Structure 1
Amino acid sequence: MTTAPPAPPSQIEFHNLSKRFGDFTAVRDLTFTVEPGRVTGFLGPNGAGKTTTLRMLLGLIRPSEGTATIGGRQYGAIANPLRVVGSALEATNFHPGRSGRDHLRVLAAAAEIPDKRVDEMLELVAIPAAARKRAGGYSMGMRQRLGLAAALLGDPQVLVLDEPANGLDPEGIRWLRGFLRGLAADGRTILVSSHMLSEVEQTVDDVVIISNGQLVKSGTMADLHGPSSALVRTSDPSRLAGALRVADVTSHATPDGALLVETDDLRLVGDVALRAGVPIWQLQAQVSDLEDMFFRLTEGQNRNLGDATTAPRAGDAIMGRDGGNEK
C-alpha cells in the first residue's frame, strides 16, 4: 500500500472544509491548495465565507467537517506557530493605549523573539517614527502596517492576510504589492483575502473565488483569463478577415464593426493586414478582466448576511455557540 508524500512544510491545504452556525452554513465542502513561492488571492463577495475560512485555518473556529492544514498539520499542532505562520486578520487587535512598538514587543516576548527583530520589522513596514505613539491614534493604513509587522515577527514561511490593502494610500498599496511579490519570490506561501480586484490582478499568481461558502473557480491568473485575442478596427474588415483565414487565423466580426482575432500575436495581424493592403485604425490585445470574470461568476449568488441573528462571532464559535462575524 502506497502512502501519499508529505505536504511541503509551507503548503496550505483545505480539504472538504465546512462550517455551520446553527442552521446557517458559512462554508460548504471547500477544497483547494495554496502553494509555496506564490501569492494566492482569495476572493468572494461580502458574506462569501472568506474570513470564516481563514479563521478555521488559524484555529480560531472549529470546522464542522473537513480540515485546514499547514504543511499537513493543523494550526493548533504547530509548535511556536508565530515562527511558522504569520497572520493579520484584523487591524484592531491591539491595545489602543499601548505604543505600536510595545505591542510588537509583547508578541515577540511570548515567542522568545528578541526586541531587535521588533525594530527591524518597524523599519521594514516603514512606521518607525510612529512606533512610540499610542496605537489607538493610528490611521487605518498605519494599523495595517503594524498588523503586517506583527505577522512577520517570527520570520514565518506562511503569511495569511485578510484585506491587507484596506486604508493604504496609493503609495502604500504599491509598496505592499512589491513586498508580497518579494516574499513569494523568497519561497514563502502567501494567502491574501481582498476585495480590491484591480490590485489583486497586479499582485497574485493564483486566484481562488468563492461565493455562498462554495468554491466557484480556482486557477492561475493566466488560466482564468483564458486565451488572449486581438481587437482590430479597419476600413475593410471583410477583406482583412479573408486574409486572416488564408493565414489560418480565425476572426469574428463584432457588433460595432471591428474584428476579434483569435491570436495574441499582434505582429502577425499587422503583417497580414500589410500584405493585404488593409489600413489598420486600431490593434490591441484583449484579455478578460478579473473584475468582469468575478462578477460573472458570483452574480446573483451572494447571500444577505445583514440579519444579526445569522452573524456568528468568532469567540462564540470557539465555545460552540451560534453567532459570528463574517466577511
Structure 2
Amino acid sequence: MSTAAFQGSPTPGTSTLQGDARGAHVDIRNLTKVYGSFRAVDDLSFTVEPGRVTGFLGPNGSGKTTTLRMLLDLIRITEGTALIDGQRYRDIKQPLHTVGAALEATNFHPGRSGRDHLRVLAATHGIPDSRVDELLELVGIPAAARKKAGGYSMGMRQRLGLATALLGDPRLLVLDEPANGLDPQGIRWLRGFLRHLSADLGKTVLISSHMLSEVQQTVDDVVIIANGRKIAAGPLKELEGRASTRVTTRDAEALAAVFAQRGLEARVSDPRQVEVASEDLVLIGDTALAAGQPIHGLASAGTDLEEMFVRLTEQHGNRNTEGI
C-alpha cells in the first residue's frame, strides 16, 4: 500500500480540493430519539460552525452515533430537528456536494475494489473517474485501489471511507472515529488535513472520536454528551479554562509568596510545585531570579481534555448507564 500521500505537507493540491466560500452550518435543536422506554438522545441542541473543526465526544452508548445518523437521515427523528444549512439531509439536492460522511469503515461491498466503490458513487453525481484517482492518491491507497475492499486492513478501510466522504468536495465533513486503524504518520497527516479543510478552505468538519489526546490537537470546538444529553459545549480554549504554568522549585511555599507579591495568582500543588496563572515564562523566570528562588522546571498546566472529559462524564447524573 502506498503511503506517499501521508508524507510531507498535509496540504493537498487545488486540483483535488477546491474549497467553498463557506462551509455548511449545522443546527441541532431539541433532538430526541426514543426506542421504547429508552431515550437514546434527549433534547439535544448544539451548532457546528463553518471554518471550524468540532469534536463530538461522549462515552460509549452516549448517543453520538445515533445523533449523527439522525443528522444524515439514516434513522427517524422522534422529536426536534437536525438541519444542514436550514435543510434536512433528505431534501438536499446532490448531497455528495454538500455533505461527506464516513460513519463506518465497512460501508462498502467486500467483493468490489476500492476504486470501483468510488466510481459507482461518483457516477450518481456525474463526478469523473479522474476525481476518484486523485482521491485514492490523496488518502494513500492507489496501489490497493484495484484489490477487493473486503481484504483491506482497518487502516485502509478508514482511508477508503475518507475518500468516499471527500468525493463530492463537500462543504460539511462528518467523520466517526476517523483515526481508528491509522498509524502515527497517518494520524498526523489526518490532523493537518482536517485543519487545512477548515482553516484554509472554510469547510465545516464534525468528528466523533474517543482519541481525546488527538482531538485536543485538532479541534476548535467541542460538544460533550452523556446519556443522550449535552453536558458541555463551546470553544476548546474556553472549556479548558485559563492557561497556567507549573513551576518546580526547591520551596514551593516561598516561591508562591514571591509570585503573590508581584500580583501573580499562585497555588501550591506540591511541596516542590507551584501553579501560576500565567503563561509568561519570562515574567515567571525573572520574578523567581530576582527573589533568589531556583526554578528546576516549567511546564504548561492547562486543563487536559481527557481530564475534563472524565470529570464531566463522571459527575452525578452524567455517568453513562446504558453504554457497553
Instruction: Name the TM-score, length of structure 1 as normaliser.
Output: 0.88
Q: Which residue of 2 aligns with 1:127?
A: 141
Cα offsets for 1:50-76 (capped at 9, x unmatched) = 000000000111111110011111101
Q: Which residue of 1 aligns with 2:319?
A: 301
Aligned pair partner of 2:283 in 263, 268, 279: 268
After the TM superposition, which residues 1-327 of structure 1 pair with which residues of structure 2 at under 5 Å, given as runs? 10-185=24-199, 186-299=201-314, 301-306=319-324
Shift of 1:235: 2.6
Structure 1 CA distance for aligned equivalents of residues 260 and 190 of structure 2: 46
Shift of 1:9: 6.3
Cα contact 1:9–1:72 (8 A) shared by 2: no
Cα offsets for 1:262-301 (capped at 9, x unmatched) = 2222211111111111111222221111111111111261
Cα contact 1:266–1:285 (8 A) shared by 2: no
Cα contact 2:26–2:48 (8 A) shared by 1: yes
Q: Which runs of 5+ in 1 are unaligned?
A: 1-7, 307-327
Once the two structures are overlaid, the 10-residue window that deviates more, 240-249 or 55-64, is 240-249
Shift of 1:256: 3.4
Q: Which runs of 5+ in 2 are unaligned?
A: 1-21
Cα offsets for 1:280-326 (capped at 9, x unmatched) = 122222111111111111126112345xxxxxxxxxxxxxxxxxxxx
Structure 2 CA distance for aligned equivalents of residues 229 and 178 of structure 1: 26
Shift of 1:140: 0.6
Cα offsets for 1:166-213 (capped at 9, x unmatched) = 111111111111111111121000000001111111111111110000
Q: Which residue of 2 aligns with 1:315?
A: none
Structure 1 CA distance for aligned equivalents of residues 127 and 261 of structure 2: 68
Cα offsets for 1:21-47 (capped at 9, x unmatched) = 111100011111101111111110000
Amino acid at match of 1:29: D
Question: When the two structures are aligned, how many residues end up with a matched partner?
Answer: 299
Amino acid at match of 1:198: S
Structure 2 CA distance for aligned equivalents of residues 278 and 272 of structure 1: 9
Amino acid at match of 1:101: R
Identity of aligned residues (%): 63
Q: CA RMSD in A?
A: 1.4
Cα contact 1:273–1:279 (8 A) shared by 2: yes
Cα contact 1:208–1:219 (8 A) shared by 2: yes
SS at match of 1:176: helix
